[in-house]
A and B are shown apart, each in its own frame.
Chain A
Amino acid sequence: MSTGRLRRRSSLHSLWRIRSYVRPYAHQMLLMTAAAGIAVGASIVVPLITRSVVDGPISHGDRSGLVPLGLLALALGVLEAGLVFVRRWVQSYAALGMETALRDDLYAKLQGLPVAFHDKWQTGQLLSRATTDLSTIRRFLSFGLVFLIINIATFVTVIALLVHLYAPLAVLVAAAAVPLFLISRNLSKAYLDTSRRVQDQQGDLATLVEESAVGVRVIRSFGRRDHVGHQFRSGARTLHDSAVDKATLVARFWSLFDLVPSVTLGGVLLLGSLAVTEDAMSLGDLVAFVSLMLMLVWPIESLGWILANAQEAMTAADRVYDVFDTESEIVDRPGAVDVGAAEGHLRFEGVGFSYASSSHPVLRRVDLEVRPGETLAIVGVTGSGKTTLTSLVPRLYDVTAGRITLDGRDIRDIRLTSLRRLVSSAFEDATLFSSSVRDNLTLGHSDASEDEVSEALEIAQATFVHDLPWGLDTRIGEQGLSLSGGQRQRLALARAVLGRPSVLVLDDPLSALDVHTESLVEEALRRVLSRTTALLVVHRPSTVALADRVALLEHGTITAVGTHSELMETLPSYRAVLSQHAEEVTAR
């Protein structure tokens, strides 16, 4: 099977899958279609009435017949307008309801997909799916689909009437469906590809925009406005070219859809006239035939628009299902249990890990034990895999070999929510959200008491928040007040220690703090660490002092475990990583 056909089939299939979102609105969709159908019918009848007014009461000078017919025209006119109103009114919540439900689900799906997925996918691409593509689908569901049905129904009805008038000619008209079918089949192949390209490039452009909006300071700092401007232009140009291609295709499409009814009409004129001269039909029949046929012109012409709309919706659905169809690899295993509290006995057993993007393993056969209440520091050079190791504990990534156990149970056998409540982390870069300081702190523990919050703030030396304009209610994050690097890091630390987690994972938590603050935090942290199991990534000897034992991570595996002073004495490679005094470095 050609790839084109495969794609078409899969796109059609994706669109078909949207039906589960249509189902709750099935009644409304029916109502919309019925209203549209009757309205079209009414609009066809009104001209007939005006004709009968002219032919009837007026030519016969019948005053009394005038008013009833006038009232009938009025009633039909009101009916038509009323039905249009009903269709649009219903559509306004049905179509939007489907779109909104799809968007909610897409977002839920995205939040559930593992970090590895988000490493790979650009936010702009995801965003264009959640906005542009979903609107395209909504437009199809609210207009395209309804009129596809109406137009086909009109086509069939009119053909039936035509057959009734004069069958041979009607066959000619019905035969017009053949070129229409061929044209749409021919062009849809090209159109699907082009519209997919346009939609993908829109996502790429959104990505470029997002990147340069977030990186605006770096761009400014290097004065590279022209450079990124150039990149954006080339992206916008590419999109422009594809969109022009699409417009050209559409032009071909639509104009052909115009041509077919015209040519058919020409054929009807010629053959119909001949038929009249042959006395196969009457002149009146021919006139009626032609005027009925004229009613087909709009449904056929608009079919071009509808098909284009349908195909865009198909590619959009395809793109949306790209996301929906991605398997979440990090999910609860069958039989995973909820664990209320844990002692905090953490073990790495032969753990190996490699990122999907490279075949080279980052971690190999890591064996490590952190006993309940113990603090273990992980030390290693830049890029040795410390962050990777720590992110395995809350299952941001899953191990690719071996296993990690908490209190003897494989962490994959613990419910994710439960595991992530037991394990609390502070990352290298402090991510704060656009909400109040309090909300940022109590992220994982919405039930935290005021005392717990202030204790956490105390430990992280983050009491500066009380001096913010609205204290703990001040909104921070991107949409709020910006904080200094050290302030952000302390808040992230406070968030991690809040709620006394069983396992605390701190990745270089004091890197942005000055020496004074650092020693204050260390002092306070010592108290917390004495009662929880902790994994602590450190670069500085001062912070190592917080740990009971230290593990040295080298070449993706743990090469030594011991106390700081032991390792300092016995292990040159450890000294190389942790000693501030250059003369002690023998390696390198």
Chain B
Amino acid sequence: MTASGLDAWRGVAAEGNEELTGQATIRLQRRSRRLLGSLLRPHHRTLWFAVVLLLLQNAAAMSGPYLVKVGIDRGIPAIDKGDGPTVLVVVTAAFLVAAVMEYLTKRAFLVTSGRVGQAVLYDLRTRVYDKFQRLSPAFHERYTSGRVISRLTSDVDALGELLDGGIDDLVLAALSVGSVGVILLFLDLPMGLVTLLSFPLLLLLSRWFRRNSAIAYRRTRESVALVIVHFVESLGGIRAVQAFRREPRNQEIFAALNNDYRRANERAFKLIAIFAPGIKLIGNVTVAVVLVYGGYRVLGGHTEVGVLAAFLLYLRRFFEPMQELSMFYNSLQSASAALEKLSGVLEETPTVAEPHEPVPLPHATGRVDLDNVRFAYREAIVLPGLDLHVPAGQTVALVGATGAGKSTVARLVARFYDPLEGSVRLDGIDMRDLAEKDLRRGVVMVTQENFLFSDTVAENIRFGRPEASDDDVEAAARAIGAHEFIAALPDGYDTDIGKRGGRLSAGQRQLVAFARAFLGDPAVLILDEATSSLDIPSERLVQRALRTILADRTALIIAHRLSTVEIADRVLVLEQGRIVEDGSPAELVSGGGDYAGLHQAWADSLV
């Protein structure tokens, strides 16, 4: 793969090829049908009820024309004979009753099907959402947040459209096509057979449409996802976009993606623009053929005029619903493409999975062992073989050049990833055997990119322990010296901190993230540059707090400022994924190795 031409700006990345073979297509479609089935299954009783309502509604609707006929045939002669309008009034009353019945059943049907449809969407949304939350960080890195959003919005909407419009049409249409087809054969077998000649054509056309529209709709799903990915990413970084005048370039990219989406849609729309009138054409031609053929048969004395008239009337009832069926088929195809994507997500297995039979660990003491851990994000090995044993209660500082693999070690200890080889253990138990909740109670990590939710300060801190009281929250904030600034916010702890905590300064965000982790009260606390944006006084407050906080728990601290490192019991120097020095700060400083050099440089930098 090379980056060249117009698309060079994109850069090169290893990507999966999305072209599908026929076999794969069938598998995908089967998968999406299965998902649809499993979504509808819990509602099968309600669905039957809806079908009954529909039949009643149909019966009521059908009785209308019949009653008109009765009214004219019987009511008028009755009046003419001087019997008074009783018959007419009765018929009209019956007609009105039927109308009201139709109204009521239709309304009940729509309410019922609306409820089922929304319940199905709710079910699907929560299933997919939960799945995404279960999938490992490696998956999310590959998939990107924009795609997650696209799956849960635009793809779910596509199914919503299917459920919103036309289930009633589908059932009625299928019923009427089926029953009318039988009637046609009974009315006049040869003419019926001529009608049936249109069937192979209909099937061929439908098959053509299914094949091509599956591809087209799949492309719409993929291209809309790319539009969303770009939209979310570029508006998320709007500061940099504007400061670096990237708007024109972004606009170009967006227009190109938007145009791809348009083309994908256009392709699908054009297919339906051929398919729908195609069905209509087959129907219309059949009607004309039957008209002439039937005419000859009548003239030849093979059949009655009445039969031909009835046949032609029924023929319309046969082909008209086909049109609705074809529209339904179209929505189904569009929804299946979305379901393919969604079922794909649901079928993903988390690479960092929860064990089937977890080893219970209600109260971790905090011993952490990494045995011969080998790890790579992609091809390049980041940790070739790491051995690290941290007894419970020890505070370990991890230092080293940027890109040395410090955060990677931290992520492995927090089990964001599993090692390729070797094992990471908490209290002697392999993390792969620990239940998620035991692990998370035991290990909490403050990440380099501290993410805050758009909620109040208090709720953000409480995220560390949802059952914490307001007092607990405040105590945590006080402990790390964040109380002062929080109290000074317009609504104190109830201040909404906006999207990603944007209403706070960088240091304030770190303090909140820190308070959140502190409230979590884990046996192992990992701090990945948790104080990098703090000013020196705040940092000092945090350090003082750390001394007490870390007294009785294991800690892994990553920091570039050696002031933070000084509170550690033990320092590890990491170089290209290997531990090159290991000892207490004092030992290392006097040892004359890397750390001593670092320390010297740092001491010099202080005035």
Contacts and interface: CB of A to CB of B under 8 A. Distances in A.
B284 interface: yes
B207 interface: no
Contact of B129 (A89, A209, A237, A254): A209
Interface stretch (B91-99, B365-373, B469-477): B91-99
A222 to B, nearest CB: 6
Contact of B103 (A256, A290, A474): A256
Nearest to A262: B99
Residue from B9, B144, B227, B274 with most neighbouring chain A CB atoms (10 Å): B9
A41 interface: no
Given A104-B258, A396-B239, A475 B508 contact: no
Contacts of B102: 258-259, 262
Given A263-B96, A266-B96, A480-B11, A220 B463 contact: no
Contact count band on B:
35 or more
B285 A74 contact: yes
Interface string B220-253: 0000100111111111111111111111011100
B529 A485 contact: yes
Nearest to A126: B235
Contact of B126 (A97, A119, A212, A236): A236
Main secondary structure of the interface of A (DSSP, over half): helix
B234 A269 contact: no
Contacts of B249: 443, 446
Interface string B143-168: 01110110011100100000000000
Interface string A468-501: 0110011111111111111100100001000000
Contacts of A290: 68, 72
A122 B154 CA distance: 17
A89 B273 contact: yes
B2 to A, nearest CB: 8
A202 B242 CA distance: 28
B126 A232 contact: yes
A222 B440 contact: yes
B237 A431 contact: yes
A475 B13 contact: yes
Contacts of B108: 251
Given A213-B132, A427-B240, A247 B503 contact: no
B99 A123 contact: no
Interface stretch (A57-65, A405-413, A524-532): A57-65
Given A66-B296, A88-B272, A577-B536, A479 B498 contact: no
Contacts of B119: 240
Contacts of A423: 243
Residues of A in contact with B, size category: 35 or more
Contacts of B246: 433, 443-444
Interface in A352-389: 355, 357-360, 380-383, 385-387
Interface string A491-517: 000010000000000001001111111
A80 interface: yes
B274 A104 contact: no
A530 B89 CA distance: 102
B133 A216 contact: yes
Given A258-B106, A265-B64, A383-B505, A80 B607 contact: no
A433 B108 CA distance: 51
Contacts of A265: 64, 68, 95, 99
A223 B601 contact: no
A570 B201 CA distance: 95
A508 B536 CA distance: 13
A386 B535 CA distance: 12
A71 B288 CA distance: 7
A420 B238 contact: no
B135 to A, nearest CB: 8
A391 B239 CA distance: 9
Name the residue among A266, A473, A508 with the largest chain B CB count within 10 angstroms: A266
Contact of B449 (A254, A276, A429): A429
Q: Identify which of A124, A127, A202, A228 gathers the most chain B CB atoms within 10 Å of its CB.
A: A127
Given A464-B403, A541-B607, 5 more contacts: A221-B416, A247-B114, A383-B507, A545-B605, A577-B535
6 contacts: A224-B440, A270-B88, A273-B88, A420-B242, A485-B448, A568-B607
